[in-house]
Structure 1
């Protein structure tokens, strides 16, 4: 009876945690979708992508540093190892500078909806990398592993359909079709590379948080480092640090600070916390929500400039189908691990150590 009671308490606690994580990740994707549409507007006004990244990253680092000191000071190591420093540098270069610059270039060449869809390639890439280094449970004979493979493949198909079918149905003038499709292919290429970078950085974040469980601190440090790296890159490429257009006034800059620095910063921190709890695959498969929200917002706010095509809607259906399959597999896989732990001597300790990476 005690064993059954303990099992029931574990399941109830995990259910509450699951609801909070799933609800939070859904909200995060809606916020990120709004930011993508906002950034698309900034770029249409002539804003420099690198300058937008710098302002948002500096704001995020400055805002979260006091919280990191107050809430996570006891978790900081007495000495920063070379490995941890290298991980911070790679996360900053990949997640702040490279990923965001590639995404903004992709948004400029395509649309917010497609830019939000392309990172849905990440779950498949993340699953492969995470399984290879032991962050994701992989047993080919297990039906839940097979379901995760199928779900990530469905997400991949949906993302590709979203981009290519949207491109083929776009109302570009015939005389501009050649240049338009060239820009579209170039933009999609930027977004594909961004998805690869995002996948690697997401797995690296999960590895880092396993030994440094302080997401606020990690986000503050990597944002500051990323802002510095991006500023150096802009000076090298542009010769100066400016927003690139007189149309970017104080009001729009404040929007970057508040929305891009603070609000999106909270989203990044929450996603980082979820990485430590549930692993990189589960966090990444919520991307279709951002795709849907971006498509709806861009089609409504931008007054029909980016209308949804039937192919785009079909791609969204595939992506949400893949999301549901992965969620179902992860849930049942976690329950299987709990069953095994309650039927083996000392299994609770082992499962508790493995759960943040495997469940």
Structure 2
């Protein structure tokens, strides 16, 4: 059961993300300022997580140096503040289904970043290396189709109404393309966040405190942006309605729970594994978007989504096959493994030299 915990954790994370896409679209379509939404979401997550971080990690909390704080500030600004604000801006121009489709490009983007930073192995002589590269290319192709081709609508349930009295308005093609581009840029920022968590956790292993600090810093950063864009007091007002429910869900459940679970999975399995479960979000969101909000599912979204998911599992298959290959045959080694191999080599040479001296 211990070996299955990371898999179960990521299924829970992606199920929560499906709810995030649905509730976020509901709040923004209802007129809530998306910049303010991010501020409330991150601030609420900080308030909820802070007591847990204090009581559970205060005895073993690591020292926070200026260097580590600057790293956390930079990672929070790129991977959370920028990524999240772009995500909600893009949601104005797209649907909840597409908001759950484009994150399937995150594994390919994460894989490319880990290759560039030499955190992941790649050997084109083996089938698993070719599968990882082919899967990445297919994912990118699916993302291009999503951004450049909308196509005719395929599925909706016009006769069924739940939360909305009418179907959501049709988005023009130019705005749709703009929304997809912003969504993909947001996903690239999130991929960078996943990758940067690896060295960040090594520098500061207290994961709950690290998550809380990132949420707090992103709330401050997003507040500066929100005040610069919209200073009306009415934009910051929350009523007892679905907007408040959306903020609470995204702040407490999504940010508070999923960030910590993802940090735990990154530490156990690495950033590429963590990024591999996004298709679960797509399936759940697509079903509920059609049923609850009468959203249309377009041909371009279906083709692009299928390519992204197919490419995703190509990368996943290659990674699983690679794990069964001996380390010496995997081609490019991780930096830590190279250091360990060099250290062993030096120790062997020193032992051999000492034995040679004794023999002489």
CA contact (8 A) 1:67 1:216 kept: yes
Superposition TM-score, scaled by structure 2 size? 0.79
Distance change in 2, residues 1:253/1:313 (3 Å) = closer
Residue deviations 1:166-198, cap 9 Å, x none? x22249xxxx99x81221122122112212211
Q: Does 1:335 align with 2:319?
A: no
Distance in 2 (alpha carbons) for counterparts of 1:71 and 1:275: 20
Runs of 4+ in 1 over 4 A off after TM superposition: 162-165, 337-340
Distance change in 2, residues 1:142/1:217 (3 Å) = farther
Q: Does 1:143 align with 2:135?
A: no
Distance in 2 (alpha carbons) for counterparts of 1:134 and 1:232: 35
Distance change in 2, residues 1:48/1:98 (3 Å) = same
In terms of Rg, which structure is larger? 2
- Aligned-partner SS, 1:46: coil
CA contact (8 A) 2:80 2:190 kept: no
Distance in 2 (alpha carbons) for counterparts of 1:290 and 1:241: 34
From 313, 323, 332, the equivalent of 1:324 is: 313
Distance change in 2, residues 1:336/1:69 (3 Å) = farther
Distance in 2 (alpha carbons) for counterparts of 1:39 and 1:114: 13
Distance in 2 (alpha carbons) for counterparts of 1:31 and 1:119: 14
Q: Which residue of 1 aligns with 2:288?
A: 297
Q: What is the CA-CA distance between 1:313 and the residue it aligns to?
A: 3.3
From 87, 102, 114, the equivalent of 1:130 is: 114
Q: Which residue of 2 aligns with 1:9?
A: none
Q: Does 1:232 align with 2:224?
A: yes
Q: What is the CA-CA distance between 1:323 and the residue it aligns to?
A: 3.1
CA contact (8 A) 1:53 1:96 kept: no
- Aligned-partner SS, 2:112: helix
Distance change in 2, residues 1:72/1:326 (3 Å) = farther
Q: Which has the higher contact order (CA 8 A, sep 6+)?
A: 2
Instruction: Name which of structure 1's ranges 256-265 and 316-325 shifts more when overlaid on structure 2.
Output: 316-325
Residue deviations 1:80-131, cap 9 Å, x none? 3333112211222123321111001111111111122222222222212212
Q: Does 1:101 align with 2:85?
A: yes
Q: What is the CA-CA distance between 1:230 and the residue it aligns to?
A: 1.0
CA contact (8 A) 1:235 1:241 kept: no
Is there any run of 5+ residues in structure 1 with no aligned partner, and where? 1-15, 341-346, 352-359
Distance in 2 (alpha carbons) for counterparts of 1:269 and 1:313: 32
The count of residues paired between Structure 1 and Structure 2 equals 319
Distance in 2 (alpha carbons) for counterparts of 1:320 and 1:152: 10
After TM superposition, the structure 1 = structure 2 runs for residues 1-359 of structure 1, keeping only pairs within 5 Å, are: 16-78=1-63, 80-162=64-146, 164-165=148-149, 167-170=150-153, 180-240=172-232, 243=235, 249-264=239-254, 265-302=256-293, 304=294, 306-337=295-326
Residue deviations 1:320-354, cap 9 Å, x none? 333333333323322335899xxxxxx9x969xxx
Q: What is the CA-CA distance between 1:164 and the residue it aligns to?
A: 4.5
Q: What is the CA-CA distance between 1:72 and the residue it aligns to?
A: 2.9
Q: Which residue of 2 aligns with 1:11?
A: none
CA contact (8 A) 2:151 2:298 kept: no
- What is the root-mean-square deviation in Å for CA atoms of aligned residues? 2.8
Q: Which residue of 1 aligns with 2:165?
A: none
- Aligned-partner SS, 2:118: coil
| More helix, by proportion | 1
Is there any run of 5+ residues in structure 2 with no aligned partner, and where? 155-168, 330-336, 342-360
Distance in 1 (alpha carbons) for counterparts of 2:185 and 2:340: 37
